[in-house]
């Protein structure tokens, strides 16, 4: 059941509540953390492969035992987890290759920005129409994401985004759209609560790992050659990744619009850009801070007046 005191009535049309917003903000910190770890590695594909392997191995016994006892996932949820995991494997591969081809403050904001309006359009197709304030917030989030890769306002031109890394970025963004929509559907099928979110998240991660393994072994096996990727860092990334997305899945159970949750998750861009300035000594503070302000403004519109 939904935790008491959240002011949520099953079936009610409601705006994002403070509890759901808090879950998303915490997950944003965790998301930025494991992405910075991934970008910092010389072998991002190998890092993400080991990250998913750690989650799959560590959660096997508790996930199987708890699901056997509770049977919390109906067949439709298993189908969603399988399809979502396949999409996520594509996302991880595209993300890792994009990090190998471009810097963090170009890749990360674009991968996070492109799915927002696409998922909003999917919401419309499902009959879940954002309010005018919701649409305004979504547009502001995307505009901010498109500004953050720039080093100067004079760099606003098509060629700045269309380069050899864009196809990898697009692949990762499309994967994000796929798993976001499927996971939101699953959140409406399973019994609400953090325990169910954890179990679903685990099985989704296992399929993601298998999907990434098939892609890499089939098309790019050299990416898995042993390299300077420590298992300790992969384990830290696994904790941040699994923990952060479990919170997102719980937030999906508390929100009617997947596009709003996806937009609020872009707070991770704010965190990532600020940390990247310090870690990678990148330039363009003025334009990127303007983009950050747009993201924050859009998030506030969505959280307060989005429904």
Residue 156 lies in a domain: yes
Residue 253 lies in a domain: yes
Residue 12 lies in a domain: no
- Give the position of tokens 């760099």: 155
Tokens of 73: 């996932």
Residue 280 lies in a domain: yes
| Structural domains counted in the chain | 1
Residue 125 lies in a domain: yes
Residue 1 lies in a domain: no
Whose CA is closest to 34, among 206, 175, 243, 180?
A: 243
Backbone angles phi, psi at 229, to 5 degrees: -120, 110
Domain, as residue range, for 88 = 18-305
Tokens of 50: 């080991």
Residue 2 lies in a domain: no
Which residues are CB-neighbours of 112 under 8 A, at least 6 positions away? 145, 176, 265, 266, 268, 269
Whole-prediction pTM = 0.80
Report how far apart, in Å, the C-alpha atoms of 237 and of each of 31, 32, 47, 283 are: 9, 10, 9, 26
Q: What is the pLDDT along the chain (307 residues), one digit of tens a residue?
A: 333 333 333 333 335 568 888 888 899 899 888 888 887 777 888 889 999 999 999 999 999 999 999 998 999 999 999 999 999 999 999 998 988 887 777 787 778 777 877 777 777 787 878 788 888 888 888 888 778 777 777 776 766 666 678 889 889 999 998 998 899 889 888 888 889 989 999 999 999 999 999 999 988 888 777 667 788 988 999 999 999 999 988 888 887 766 677 677 777 877 877 777 766 666 677 887 788 788 878 877 876 676 5
Residue 10 lies in a domain: no
């Amino acid at each position: 059941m939904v935790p008491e005191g959240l002011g949520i009535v099953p079936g009610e049309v409601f705006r994002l509540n403070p509890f759901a917003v808090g879950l998303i903000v915490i997950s944003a910190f965790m998301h930025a953390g494991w992405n910075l770890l991934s970008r910092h590695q010389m072998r991002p594909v190998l890092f993400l492969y080991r990250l998913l392997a750690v989650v799959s191995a560590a959660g096997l016994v508790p996930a199987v035992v708890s699901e056997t006892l509770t049977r919390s996932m109906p067949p439709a949820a298993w189908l969603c987890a399988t399809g979502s995991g396949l999409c996520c494997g594509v996302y991880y591969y595209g993300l890792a290759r994009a990090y190998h081809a471009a810097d963090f403050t170009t890749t990360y904001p674009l991968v996070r920005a492109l799915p927002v309006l696409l998922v909003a359009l999917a919401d419309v197709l499902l009959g879940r129409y954002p309010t005018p304030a919701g649409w305004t917030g979504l547009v502001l989030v995307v505009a901010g994401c498109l500004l953050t890769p720039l080093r100067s306002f004079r760099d606003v031109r098509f060629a700045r985004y269309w380069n050899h890394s864009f196809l990898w970025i697009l692949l990762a963004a499309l994967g994000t759209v796929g798993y976001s929509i499927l996971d939101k559907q699953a959140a409406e099928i399973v019994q609400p609560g953090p325990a169910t979110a954890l179990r679903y998240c685990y099985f989704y991660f296992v399929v993601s790992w298998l999907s990434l393994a098939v892609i890499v072994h089939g098309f790019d096996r050299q990416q898995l050659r042993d390299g300077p990727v420590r298992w300790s860092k992969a384990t830290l990334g696994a904790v941040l990744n699994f923990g952060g997305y479990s919170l997102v899945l719980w937030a999906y159970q508390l929100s009617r619009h997947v596009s709003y949750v996806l937009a609020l998750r872009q707070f991770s861009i704010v965190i990532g850009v600020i940390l990247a300035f310090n870690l990678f000594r990148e330039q363009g503070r003025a334009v990127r801070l303007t983009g950050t302000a747009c993201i924050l403004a859009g998030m506030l519109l969505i959280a307060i007046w989005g429904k």
